[in-house]
Structure 1
Amino acid sequence: MSLRKTCLPPGWYPQTSEGVSRFLAKILQENRDDGTASAAVAPHAGWRYSGAIAARVFLSLKRDADTVVVIGGHIPGGMSPLMAEEDAMETPFGEMPVDKEFRLALGQSLGCLPDRYTDNTVEVQLPMVHYFFPAAKLLWLRLPADENSFEAGREIARIAEKIGRKLVVLGSTDLTHYGDNYGYSPHGGGKKALAWVRDVNDANFIAAVKSGDPRVILDRAEKDRSACSAGAVLGALGFVKAEAQGSGAEAELLAYGTSADVNPHVGEVPDSFVGYGAFCWR
């Protein structure tokens, strides 16, 4: 059996099961666990910055899934989807098995290439996936930022119905990357820049996700640089639309924040920061 080992260095998320459980304990006490969503989108930064926001997503998801499909990104439009080929994934809770039958069917249908790269968009989600879905299998997929990813989400739903799988689908994206670190600072720095990211740029992308229109989502992500992995959002949306036979519930914003919120210098805005949103479809 082939095993995909963890690749991200220490600091992205707790390295032990005890550390993950401690991180989640307070969040579980303070937030309602309703478990009614079949698809969601979570941020993928280090847990210090976005872990609490991501956890809100997991609390929203149905727990009876046979397979959890995690859709990452960081792939430009026009490129092929990437899929991990290993039989299991290493997490702080041990080895999480891959749904090999589903992987084979979906990989052939989408023309996926092997994902042999270190990338945070999927890996950073896996400790929470394994914690909240200890008996489920996994599928690691990354989709490009183009409209084909919406159709890929629909194909995920079609194959799940064909082979009899209960799924939850988790897309993975961060929002605006602002500041010199990212070569993007159209509104200068400080509090004015942070307010613009929160109230305008990220707010416009959130509205696009709520619109349920894949073209609007892509347009906002590309023109405003307000999402780094829009294809992952489209994959989750396509799955929802297929499940609901075209209608689908409006996306719900569960939580929002930025990396500036955890700046140790209270009241100061760092030179560079990133926005994070948690969405689900019920």
Structure 2
Amino acid sequence: MDASIRPAAVAGAFYPADPLGLKGLVDTLMSAIAAPELLSRPLKACVVPHAGLIYSGPVAAKAYRLLQSTASHQLWRRVVLLGPNHRMPLHGMAVSDEAFWSSPLGRMPIDRAYTEQLCTKFQLTIRPDVHRFEHSLEVQLPFLQTIMPELALVPVLVGGVESEDVAALIEYCWQDESNLVLISSDLSHYHPWSEAQRLDAVTSKMINTLDAHLGSEQACGYHALNGLLLAARRQGLEIHCLSRLTSGDTAGSKEQVVGYGAYVCY
């Protein structure tokens, strides 16, 4: 494998490894969502979940359907994708150094020049080892490659870091209107369905009211999410919930569920 290409790490586990099967699944998820109404203001960011597509895909598709409808109006050129690290410890924020990331649907180019620009302005480390087996960002590729295949990617893993640091990065990215920001995060983990409903309702209210004090029990991507909420509050933006379900609502047992939410920031 070319060292400048990050190969898919969770194909065959979180989503089908077969290109036709993967395309069929994404197309099915997207076609199940009715065309949304356009927003009254420019779309600045979305929050999307990152579990196996049969579990979180129906929720993620709500956000990606909105992005698909909005793309022709906003002319994005790159997507800055922020999410948590599950596989390896990470303090701060980390980018990768490959030229492309791949999925069964093909390669997605990394905007290396913009990544380097961010590294000169913020404390970002270059850690391809932390990215190599991480799923939180990779599972977004099949959706992005389906609806906006022309976009370049800027993947950023967000570990232990102050909300202010993440907010500053997001606000800097928003200065360029060709940037779309995506935050990858699930909600509560491994509670009975009824308890997850209660916990996720509290979390969702905090997200909708831009309360940047989420904790690890509420969302695995809470560091990135808190940064988005702080940035949105400072910029006078709104965040609305597009969909909220659990794995018990989509494809799993209700004994222990994972919560998923899709949100739009505009």
- Report the TM-score, using the length of structure 1 for normalisation: 0.79
Greater shift, 67-76 or 26-35, is seen at: 26-35
Deviations 1:166-217 (A, max 9, x none): 01111011111125xxxxxxxxxxxxx421210x211111111111132x3x
Q: Could you tell me how far apart the structure 1 residues matched to 2:188 and 2:21 are?
A: 29
Q: SS where residue 40 of structure 1 aligns?
A: strand
Give the letter aligned to residue 28 of structure 2.
Answer: K
Q: Cα offset for 1:276?
A: 0.8
Q: Cα offset for 1:82?
A: 1.2
Q: 1:119 aligns with which of 134, 154, 158?
A: 134
Residue aligning to 1:79: 91
Establish whether residue 65 from structure 1 lines up as the match of residue 85 from structure 2: no
* TM-aligned CA distance change 1:122 to 1:252, over 3 Å: same
Q: Cα offset for 1:233?
A: 1.4
Residue aligning to 1:154: 168
* 1:123-138 equivalence runs, <5 A: 123-138=138-153
Q: SS where residue 79 of structure 1 aligns?
A: coil
5+ residue gaps, structure 2, are none
Residue aligning to 2:229: 237
* TM-aligned CA distance change 1:102 to 1:153, over 3 Å: farther
Q: Cα offset for 1:116?
A: 1.4
Q: Could you tell me how far apart the structure 2 residues matched to 1:252 and 1:139 are?
A: 24
5+ residue gaps, structure 1, are 180-192
* 1:1-282 equivalence runs, <5 A: 2-31=4-33, 32-34=35-37, 36=39, 37-61=43-67, 62-63=70-71, 64-74=75-85, 79-113=91-125, 114-117=127-130, 118-146=133-161, 148-159=162-173, 161=175, 164=176, 166-179=178-191, 193-198=192-197, 200-214=198-212, 216=213, 218=214, 221-222=215-216, 225-238=217-230, 240-241=232-233, 246-249=235-238, 251-263=239-251, 269-270=254-255, 272-282=256-266
Q: Could you tell me how far apart the structure 2 residues matched to 1:106 and 1:238 are?
A: 19
Contact 2:78 2:151 in 1 (8 A): yes
How many residues in Structure 1 have an aligned counterpart in Structure 2?
A: 251
Deviations 1:33-88 (A, max 9, x none): 45653201111100011011111111122422100111111379992211111111
Percent identical = 24
Q: Which of the two has higher C-alpha Rg?
A: 1
Q: Could you tell me how far apart the structure 1 residues matched to 2:221 and 2:242 are?
A: 19
Q: SS where residue 134 of structure 1 aligns?
A: coil
* TM-aligned CA distance change 1:92 to 1:35, over 3 Å: farther
Q: Could you tell me how far apart the structure 2 residues matched to 1:253 and 1:90 are?
A: 30
